[in-house]
Structure 1
Amino acid sequence: MAPRRRAPAGRDRASVGGRATRSTDVIVKHQFTPASMWPYARFEIVLGMISSAVAWLLVAQLGVHQVALPATLATVTGTALSILLAVRVNTAYQRWWEASGTWAQILGASRTLVRVVVAVTDAKTAADPVAVAAFQRDVARRQTAYVTALRLQLRGQLDAMGRSELAAHLSAEETPTVATADNPATVLLAGQSRRIFAAFGAGILAGFDNFQMEVALAAIAVQQGLAERIAMQPVPRTYAVFTRYLVHLYVAVFPFTILAAAAHDQWTVIPATLIVAFAFRMLERIGTVVEAPFGGTVQDVPLTAITTILERDLLELVGDPERPAPPRPVAGYLW
């Protein structure tokens, strides 16, 4: 696990697919250094060091045995706290997994949309091939702009930098409207629908072709709503604060409950407390960082890489050679 990172000065964007993007990533490496984990658990480790040192000093050195607590207190409270932390981590991971699944659905529906557009329009031998090719590219590029806009919205990055990144995917006609919209993704999805019906009016599409494409757009809109719900409705803060305080209380009390069990080697209370403090804090912290899959941490769903992959796929479907390079992990992180 690694802490939340800020990009170095002058590098607030990362290069993904040869294009500048905001630097938010997901961990793909398998090993972590103590230095990378220290920021997560430093308070609990220091608290455990102080409480265990005080317990050892009072009992082993000064003989104040009255401060020793029953060992069953550590057993019962430790078991209850472990169950609470397990539930919290599971809840957080379910949110992360739901967010990942939502984006998988958006990818699948976007590919379906462009695939149907290409298959249907290529079969229209009577249509103007230039107009058909332009329509195919227009749909593919607008869909790329859509997922870029949705990524920026979910991560709260629709500032000047984010809107500049989005503008690179827009046509000159759409830029004034989309780049200043409160919800650019919804505006782009509506524009996609209008473009499809305009193609129907121009004779590029016929029959029920447009309704097949609307099915894909409807599926995308549903998944957008699910993703927005995850982003806007976090786990209640009282749950996180309550769990953290319980961990702190347990770490502070724990060394006083195991002094009797370590009668001959009471100094071992100190390392034992540090291990318990580290383990419980890391479990609590995992639940905190994973519960916000669009929160801008290294545990995020890798939306930038996902949108880059989708852009490559869609442009390949319409025969556009100007595709970004595939995303690659950088120092164990996938942007």
Structure 2
Amino acid sequence: MPSDPEIEKEPQNYSASSRGRVSSVGMPALAPPTATSKGPIYKAFAFWIYPFTRFHRIPVFKRVWLYLAFMAVYSFAVDVVVTQKFSNHLFKEAGAAGYTSVILGLLLVFRTNTAYERWWEGRKLWGQLVNDSRNLCLKVRTYVPTGPGDKAELGELIVSFAYALKHHLRDSQASRSLPGLGDIPEGVKINAPVHLAGKMYEKVLEWKREDLFDGFIMIQLDTHLRSFMDICGACERIKNSPLALSYRAFMRQGIALNLLALPWYIEPEFNYWLSLPLILIGSYFLIGLELIAEDIEEPFGKDGDDLPLDTICATIESTVNDILQLNRSQKFTTSFRKPRIDPLKETKGNPI
């Protein structure tokens, strides 16, 4: 989820020699973990064991456990009240709680699916940015008969656009001035991606005025240049158009009221120690689904379930450098801090 405006600092161990080095699948090439050789039976059991043995590394659990602790204390208080004050059942049919939970579950599925669609659309847009950056660089290298330094200037603008878009979507500031953007006076706000896209158009138009290519090549280059702003606009639409406030508020009210009422239904049927696991399991799934939806509906932040924009920017920087040979003295902003490791997959870096 987007954070408050802040300046991203360079990692201490991030050197110029390692900048932009990424694997072919888009992950940083910093000692990638390798899969261990285990039998099929072990892997089959590990598929189900890892979510329980590594639950502390799952982003949503770092937030949901506080709610579970509250529900445990609240259930104990309800048990005390029910035992001491009420000899008869308050509710004749405990299954009524199950009906409301099912309805809430269906609504939460819709909520989560809608949030995931936003997350996946954001990922496709950034994947398109990677592809258009590569295609534009390849066509410039092949079709434009100018010096390597001149082509590298356009490459720096392409890389700066990716980093500027990342900071624009996160409402953060780059750790240093981006090439092509220049120093922005304090208190002056500009749309950095739009500014850099304009610089790219100016560079291509300069080549066209020098008759370095014909109108047909200009049309091909314009296709990729135009897509940069299409991607920026689509990402801004995702960021600035969250799910309707009334729907989000209604869902949270429904979850809260259902969970607060749940112990009153279950406690009279079972004792505290038998009802507590049922209450916590129901609370875990209802609250967890809501928190997951809340995270992924705004996919451009820095949380564990958000898109790895730092890694994608590093991929673009590495690819553009391979094609157009950027000036290595040019320093861009922070690209990535560490590789992302899936805690649910078996690797040497992920022991049980």
TM-score by length of 2: 0.75
Q: CA deviation at 1:302?
A: 1.1
After superposition, the Cα gap between the structure-2 partners of 1:201 and 1:137, relative to the gap in structure 1 and judged at 3 Å, is: same
Amino acid at match of 1:56: D
The aligned counterpart of 1:216 is 224
Indicate whether 1:110 and 2:133 are aligned. Answer: yes
Indicate whether 1:270 and 2:279 are aligned. Answer: no
After superposition, the Cα gap between the structure-2 partners of 1:11 and 1:232, relative to the gap in structure 1 and judged at 3 Å, is: closer
Amino acid at match of 1:286: I
After superposition, the Cα gap between the structure-2 partners of 1:235 and 1:11, relative to the gap in structure 1 and judged at 3 Å, is: closer
Q: CA deviation at 1:220?
A: 1.9
Checking the alignment, whether the CA contact within 8 Å between 1:309 and 1:327 is kept in structure 2 is: no
Indicate whether 1:83 and 2:81 are aligned. Answer: no
| Of 142, 150, 155, the match for 1:119 | 142
| Of 313, 333, 338, the match for 1:329 | 338
How far apart, CA to CA, are the structure 2 residues paired with 1:61 and 1:177?
68
| Of 281, 300, 304, the match for 1:298 | 304
The aligned counterpart of 1:128 is none
Aligned residues: CA RMSD: 3.6
Checking the alignment, whether the CA contact within 8 Å between 1:149 and 1:185 is kept in structure 2 is: yes
Checking the alignment, whether the CA contact within 8 Å between 2:3 and 2:301 is kept in structure 1 is: no
Structure 2's unaligned 5+ residue stretches are 20-26, 28-32, 34-49, 343-352
Q: CA deviation at 1:309?
A: 0.7
How far apart, CA to CA, are the structure 1 residues paired with 2:57 and 2:194?
44
Indicate whether 1:283 and 2:289 are aligned. Answer: yes
SS of 2:110's partner is: helix
Structure 1's unaligned 5+ residue stretches are 125-130
| Of 149, 163, 172, the match for 1:148 | 163
How far apart, CA to CA, are the structure 2 residues paired with 1:256 and 1:292?
35
SS of 2:254's partner is: helix
Q: CA deviation at 1:213?
A: 0.4
Checking the alignment, whether the CA contact within 8 Å between 2:2 and 2:301 is kept in structure 1 is: no
How far apart, CA to CA, are the structure 2 residues paired with 1:83 and 1:234?
20
Amino acid at match of 1:208: F
The aligned counterpart of 1:257 is 265
Amino acid at match of 2:130: L
Deviations 1:64-86 (CA, angstroms, capped at 9, x unpaired): 32424522311210100111111
Q: CA deviation at 1:13?
A: 4.3
More helix by share: 1
How many residues end up aligned between the 2 structures? 305
Q: CA deviation at 1:261?
A: 4.3
How far apart, CA to CA, are the structure 2 residues paired with 1:155 and 1:331?
19
Tell which deviates more after alignment, 95-104 or 315-324: 315-324
Indicate whether 1:169 and 2:165 are aligned. Answer: no
After superposition, the Cα gap between the structure-2 partners of 1:250 and 1:207, relative to the gap in structure 1 and judged at 3 Å, is: closer
Indicate whether 1:238 and 2:238 are aligned. Answer: no
SS of 2:290's partner is: helix
TM-score by length of 1: 0.78
How far apart, CA to CA, are the structure 2 residues paired with 1:189 and 1:11?
23
Q: CA deviation at 1:217?
A: 0.8
The aligned counterpart of 1:127 is none
Deviations 1:131-173 (CA, angstroms, capped at 9, x unpaired): 4212211111111111111111011013xxx2x53x2423xxx
Amino acid at match of 2:165: L
Q: CA deviation at 1:273?
A: 1.3
Amino acid at match of 1:192: M
The aligned counterpart of 1:202 is 210
Checking the alignment, whether the CA contact within 8 Å between 2:259 and 2:283 is kept in structure 1 is: yes
Checking the alignment, whether the CA contact within 8 Å between 2:3 and 2:170 is kept in structure 1 is: no
How far apart, CA to CA, are the structure 2 residues paired with 1:34 and 1:186?
38
SS of 1:270's partner is: helix
After superposition, the Cα gap between the structure-2 partners of 1:118 and 1:106, relative to the gap in structure 1 and judged at 3 Å, is: same
Checking the alignment, whether the CA contact within 8 Å between 2:59 and 2:305 is kept in structure 1 is: no
Deviations 1:244-276 (CA, angstroms, capped at 9, x unpaired): 2222211111122224543xx554112321222
| Of 102, 124, 137, the match for 2:152 | 137
